[in-house]
Chains A and B, each alone.
Chain A
Amino acid sequence: MIHSLFLINSSGDIFLEKHWKSVVSRSVCDYFFEAQERATEAENVPPVIPTPHHYLLSVYRHKIFFVAVIQTEVPPLFVIEFLHRVVDTFQDYFGVCSEPVIKDNVVVVYEVLEEMLDNGFPLATESNILKELIKPPTILRTVVNTITGSTNVGDQLPTGQLSVVPWRRTGVKYTNNEAYFDVIEEIDAIIDKSGSTITAEIQGVIDACVKLTGMPDLTLSFMNPRLLDDVSFHPCVRFKRWESERTLSFIPADGSFRLLSYHVSAQNLVAIPVYVRHNISFRDSSSLGRFEITVGPKQTMGKTIEGVMVTSQMPKGVLNMSLTPSQGTHTFDPVTKMLSWDVGKINPQKLPSLKGTMSLQTGASKPDENPTINLQFKIQQLAISGLKVNRLDMYGEKYKPFKGIKYMTKAGKFQVRT
């Protein structure tokens, strides 16, 4: 299936390669570089590139291209999903996934990759099992390894692969038993220039951080489970219990994992917590344009909106902008034409605004497009869909765990057309 993997950085250097079958020459990446050149932007490189003898499937994350080489028919999503899993695993191991970090941990990287695929077919991709096979690097361990000359390869025989619950290690022990759940909802919306909602939907996830001893069996129930329209589960969730009782019953994976992601339907029900008033105008004759935006709270259920960030890609004709924000800081990059305004918290009494002028290319006619405003924000302690966790119960273990649930609403792809 997957023959080889090349890691390519943004300047086009292959800084790591790994082969699971025979060695494929790096020259195969030339086809990739060609496509990259044609695409101009990294995100527009086609994820699947056919070459005379191979197919290159790539994902782009953390400014690194992960290019898999395959020779025969295979579902493309299979490979793409695997590559993303590789990136997630690196992130899990090293905290971040970047070129310097991968280079620093090159030994572990190879060991992990070796275990993830056998002859090109995925073998151990659950991070719990991998961590048992190959210990993640820590400062202490690095020091010990240098002194004793040992490696990161686990000296105990891993049993995770044989475990009845493949996502959980056996014999987990904690002194503080705790289980935290974050309910995070994102609002995806397109608002048109008059302020009405063209489309809005809520996507949510429940991320769990579970540090419990032994083999606990958890049950999480909701006050209003019917809000969840479309759900996808971590493999640990018992599908049947969900179908019949709408509760989540599972033996959790150890550590942090995504328990559930869901979708709340019905666009006319979505409360839009912010509005943007904007006045962006170019005049045909003048080389100055007016720019003014104000952000204000709308349906916030009494909570404060924080972490507000406004970004907008200005038309090419805009040379520079001189703006004054009523709060926060703003920057405009004259090269990429990207305006960003870090607003911070919204005070309903004194709405933040950004006003000023744009200097346009003289002589050129006014740009015929208006910029789209992208909005980011956060609202703590609120799940905008109204989803509420009812209770969390634990079975199978004697101790009393510490439980915590946190709600948060964020902007997903939130765009205001002007």
Chain B
Amino acid sequence: MAMSFEWPWQYRFPPFFTLQPNVDTRQKQLAAWCSLVLSFCRLHKQSSMTVMEAQESPLFNNVKLQRKLPVESIQVVLEELRKKGNLEWLDKNKSSFLIMWRRPEEWGKLIYQWVSRSGQNNSVFTLYELTNGDDTENEEGSRFVGVS
């Protein structure tokens, strides 16, 4: 499953796994975490996860560095993602969540653009066609691959 995923430099920086008390530093840190989570989930085609899985996943647990992000800090990162619109909680207890590495609005925009370009406005077609159709076997279409 772990393809040639390129970890960002922060992943090898031990302080990345400690929630920084300095507000400005923390902002940068959280931004880095958010983009890491999104790109990780996108590459591994993971759209939902439980918090327990997250704790043990290589995403938050860098075994080689011997550092893991503590669960309270994971919660902070998830909250950031939620605020940005990239995350939705699937249950009241906040134990599992949905990750949308592209926000619904962004998808909407992309689909519309694609539809316009391929001249298929005002015709109905299925999601299957959208993801697997001949027309989609181009650069833009490949973006749709892997959408659940």
Q: Bound pair: A and B?
A: no
Give the interface of A toward B (CB within 8 A): none
Give the interface of B toward A (CB within 8 A): none
